[in-house]
Amino acid sequence: MYRRRLRLIAAVIALGAAGSVWGASAAQAAPNGKCESHEVCLYWSTNFQGPIWDHAGDVTNYAGYNFPGYNIPVNNNTLSVRNRGNWMDVRLCTETWFRGSCVVVAPGNSIGQLEDHLANQLSSHEWWT
């Protein structure tokens, strides 16, 4: 809980210091099927193949999201992940709101094949310091 509060305070400070950047960040958060800097990227297939869902923010529930350009749901449907964030870990979980079984991926790291208990079961993620 203490960690989470610190994180919130840091976010508020960052927002106050660079309010004009917020618009750009929000635009970047829209998934476009390209795995870019500052994003976590989820792949439909193993080893970063197939449709890509990319996101720069936290997502509490993947339900309702499709892979950009495909009529394929993201929820419970990814086999590999990449963290292209610059300094934050990303924590991906099998249940909504960052519950269930979770895996933490450090910035710049990736998992080419999610373990059985995570494969095709991810439903939320949050950036994690």
**Which residues of the chain form contacts with Ca ion (CB under 5 A)?**
32, 34, 36, 54
Which strand (E) or helix (H) includes residue 5?
A: helix 2-17
Smallest distance from Ca ion to CB 39, Å: 5
Torsion of CA 30, 33, 37, 38, to 10 degrees: 40
Residue whose structure tokens are 């300094």? 87
Smallest distance from Ca ion to CB 11, Å: 21
- Closer residue to Ca ion, CB minimum distance, 82 or 91: 82
Positive or negative: CA dihedral 48, 122, 38, 44: positive
Smallest distance from Ca ion to CB 54, Å: 4
- Closer residue to Ca ion, CB minimum distance, 54 or 126: 54
- Closer residue to Ca ion, CB minimum distance, 32 or 46: 32
Which strand (E) or helix (H) includes residue 111?
A: strand 110-111
